[in-house]
Structure 1
Amino acid sequence: MNKKKLGLTSKIFIGMILGILFGLLLSKVPSGYLKDTILLGGILKILGSGFITAIKMLVVPLVFISLVCGASAMSDIKKLGRIGVKTLGFYLCTTALAVTIALIIAKVVNPGVGIDMSNIVTSDPTIGEKQSLVDIILAMIPSNPIASLASGEMLQIIVFAILTGVAISIIGEKGQPVKALFESFNEVCMKMVSIVMLIAPYGVFALISNTFATIGFSAMWSLAKYMFVVLFALLIQGTVVYSGLLKLFSGLKLKPFYKKYAKVAAVTFSTSSSNASLPVTIEAMEEIGVHNSVASFTLPLGATINMDGTAIMQGAACIFISQIYGIDLGISQLLTIVLTATLASIGTAGVPGVGMITLSMVLTSVGLPLEGIGIIMGIDRILDMCRTTINVMGDCACTLVVSKQENELDLDKYYSEKELAK
């Protein structure tokens, strides 16, 4: 009988649990050559720092290439006109709103207050000087895109990537060879992500061990508060925000939507993938009365660029990591997080785990230590399942709003006989 192999998620979770136990055990060991040099300064540092460095290696090429591919695939916007503008506007606004909600809740809850990891930062994190909104917007335009890529200036990379993708789309047939090349590069990048993630369980074990060996059990309470912030923000986004937008822009009753979405949620929650659930999502929206011409455009586009749940995680994680490292974020840095997380959602692939890569981009944009990723990575799978469900719910809400406004929604299908009888 063949034994079932453990999946990556299970291995990461096991690595987290073993890291907690080993770290707590190590915290009771007196300082000495074995603990400080061999374990903390040697084996654990190589595994943990090596994993973080491998993530850093992928950030710039992954974000740039993914964004070029996403932007170059938006040629349908010209054909669909108003639908394209409304869809893009809805997605970008809800993503910006999502990360703002997460930042507000995190600032109220203060999930990282109570533990201090500033003494184990491997490098001095730098926060940019206070900038006005005008300066932030102007700083997004790269004067030298090659230098921006080399130095990891993420907002500038995002702008240049989108411009490149749009230009490829506009020139049409002549741009197809370049588009195909970037799509091939994108496949290579995604495979590299998969390869790096193979060492994630060992990296998480080392980072978590180091954390608990240094600060002990107090990290558990902060992790619990971080999870609460993310889940509460996701709940607000999925109920208050989407319900309000559906009512405001379509006037539809909410019960049929949430009842039908339960079928989609079962797939998104189990797969943690917007792309994997796409066939079920399109089928559910057509069953509820959305015309195929709308659903076949808004839902695939949403699976590519609409990542409200991921943006919530990134906002909460930035506050959490800044607090555990004792770094104050000003208004300009918070605004940079909103802008970066919103724009990063365009380049976030709809597959499990890539949110951690784009989180490193958001952290880099405000100078926060990437080592903080290792602390939250062990519990991220649970949150990933929840935020993917919210990501796709936003796609469906947008699809209903657009189809209703464009008279492409069959109200007889939307309201079942039972609903109409009420």
Structure 2
Amino acid sequence: MKASRVTQSLLFKIVIAIILGIIVSFFAPEWLGRFFATVNGLFGNFLGFFVPVLIFALITPAIANLGRGAGKWLALTTAIAYGSTIFSGLLAFVASQTLYPSLLDGLSVDTVADIEEGQLASYFTVEMDPPFAVMTALLLAFSMGLAMTAVPSEILRRGSNQLRDVVMKIIESFIIPLLPIYIFGVFLTMGMNGNLTHTISMLLIVLVVAVVGTLVLLVIQFALAGAIAGKNPLTAFKNMLPAYATALGTSSSAATIPVTYKCAQKNGVSESVAGFVVPLCATIHLAGSTMKITLFAFAVLFISGDTVSFGQALGFVMMLGVTMIAAPGVPGGAIMAAVGLLSSMLGFTDEQVALMIAAYIAIDSFGTAANVTGDGAIALIVNRFTKGKLDREEPEELSDAELLAR
């Protein structure tokens, strides 16, 4: 019985998909790689279309159901997410100053890897333009949700709750069942491209430091969350592993929202808190990505013979934390949002920016996995402060006709 539950779990399916994707990539024919490149393109385009809708549909009722306390909990969650991101960046700076002089001594960069070189072409693509951008969805959700807490709008509130239920049904019946197939295709095509190995080999040492760094960050986050929420941090972290594994395959915080949501609830976070914190943090909490960007940025500077002072690092990290709030929760979104800061604040040349993008996107998933797992820690903290009761008192159930009559 227990073995059956394990094999049916999403975590098991994702792990198998990753392993099979890597193994099959060694002998798969080109037509198979292109087939999965096509499938991944279609599914990825659908996610790009659906993610803004998902964010709007989940955050709007979550804020509307807060009542007049919405602003307070929104500010608290945002402050925790920003603080976590800044701490992550400073931790990365300390690690770079401590480890790089010995680990990267003698290394230099002569060429810039092109992450798109050798990329498998899909057979066809279907453009799926989203109805609005991610930040538009977030701002619209804030505006609508907060307005509904101040203006009597029971019909709109019930409608937003029903929209949330419809979106969750799409997630549970369509997106989650296809995630293992999508993840298999991601690892299959990356392995067949051949460029991933070359790019990672250039900064393999930094990769190890980044992975260990994100794990240390998660240990600190869950130790604090466990102490505040009165939960066993090891158990809480274990319950978040399906979200971690999903993010490893998708490299998308937004695409992992459904799994993160379920994992947070498994940790005892109420439905209302999880529905509010998880989609919000998928957009504004990128502590893992910040750590990776900082570690790789300082590594590129180090192997290029440049140095960075604490003042420069602090300013860069603080601005990066703000930039991460605006970064879309989709694959590669964090590094693309940070490109401007790399050039303006750290003086990156075009070649250094290209190297940074290539190295980061090739191994983007570890930072994303730390992002979504850390969202679970934030949900525990917010759940403790709100006592799991974000929903305002429910009014008596009335029919639509009665509501319209009022």
Mark yes or no: TM-score above 0.5.
yes
The answer to whether residue 86 in structure 2 is matched with residue 92 in structure 1 is no
Deviation, 1:95, is 0.1
* Partner residue, 2:290: 315
Contact 2:332 2:361 in 1 (8 A): yes
Question: Does the CA-based 8 Å contact 1:103-1:319 persist in structure 2?
Answer: yes
What is the aligned partner in structure 1 of residue 166 from structure 2?
184
Q: Which one-letter code corresponds to 1:160 in the other structure?
A: L
Q: Distance in 2 between matches of 1:160 and 1:332?
A: 30
Within the candidate set 183, 189, 193, 1:206 is matched to: 189
Distance change in 2, residues 1:160/1:307 (3 Å) = closer
- CA distance in structure 2 between the partners assigned to 1:366 and 1:381 by the alignment: 15
Residue 311 of structure 1: how far off its partner (Å): 2.3
Partner of 1:58: 47
Which residue number in structure 2 is paired with residue 14 of structure 1? 19
Question: Is contact 1:12-1:201 (8 Å) kept?
Answer: yes
Shift of 1:70: 1.1
Q: Percent identity of the aligned residues? A: 9
Q: Write the deviation string for residues 38-70 of structure 1: whole angstroms up to 9, x where unpaired.
A: 86xx86577568636743542353134323431
2:262 counterpart SS class: coil
| Structure 1: tracts of 5 or more residues without a match | 27-37, 124-148, 244-253, 283-294, 346-356, 404-422
Determine the C-alpha separation between the residues in 2 that align with 1:89 and 1:14: 41
Could you tell me which of 154, 162, 165 is aligned with 2:142? 162
CA distance in 1, matches of 2:172, 2:233: 30
> Do residues 229 (structure 1) and 223 (structure 2) align?
no
Change (3 A) 1:207 1:68: same
Cα deviation, 1:364-407, whole Å, max 9, x if unaligned, reads 54468599555343x5797579535533443355347999xxxx
Which amino acid letter does the alignment assign opposite residue 232 of structure 1? V
Give the number of aligned pairs: 322
Tell me if the contact between 1:115 and 1:215 (Cα under 8 Å) persists in the aligned partners.
no
Per the normalisation by structure 2, the TM-score is 0.57
Give the CA deviation at 1:94: 0.8
Are 2:363 and 1:375 aligned? yes
Q: Give 1:174's aligned residue.
A: 155
Distance 1:258 1:372, change over 3 A: same
CA distance in 1, matches of 2:338, 2:53: 18
Q: What does 1:286-365 correspond to in 2, within 5 Å?
A: 301-303=276-278, 305-306=280-281, 311-319=286-294, 337-339=320-322, 341-342=324-325, 358-365=330-337
The equivalent residue for 2:268 is 281
Cα distance change on mapping 1:172 and 1:151 into 2, 3 Å: closer
5+ unaligned residues in a row in structure 2: which ranges? Answer: 118-128, 244-259, 307-311, 340-355, 391-406
What is the 5 A alignment of 1:203-282? 203-208=186-191, 210-215=194-199, 217-218=201-202, 220-239=204-223, 260-262=231-233, 265=236, 268-272=239-243, 273-278=260-265, 281=268
Letter of the 1:207 counterpart:
M
Residue 73 of structure 1 is matched in structure 2 by: 62
> 1: distance between equivalents of 2:108 and 2:21?
18
Q: Describe the superposition over 1:317-356 as per-residue Cα deviations: whole angstroms up to 9, x where unpaired.
A: 44467789999999998667534544679xxxxxxxxxxx
- Give, in whole Å, the separation in 1 of the partners of 2:336 and 2:186: 19
Name which structure has the greater RCO, CA cutoff 8 Å, separation 6+. Answer: 1
**1:312 counterpart letter in structure 2:** A
Q: Which amino acid aligns with 2:143?
A: L
Which one of the candidate residues 96, 116, 121 is aligned to 1:122?
Answer: 116
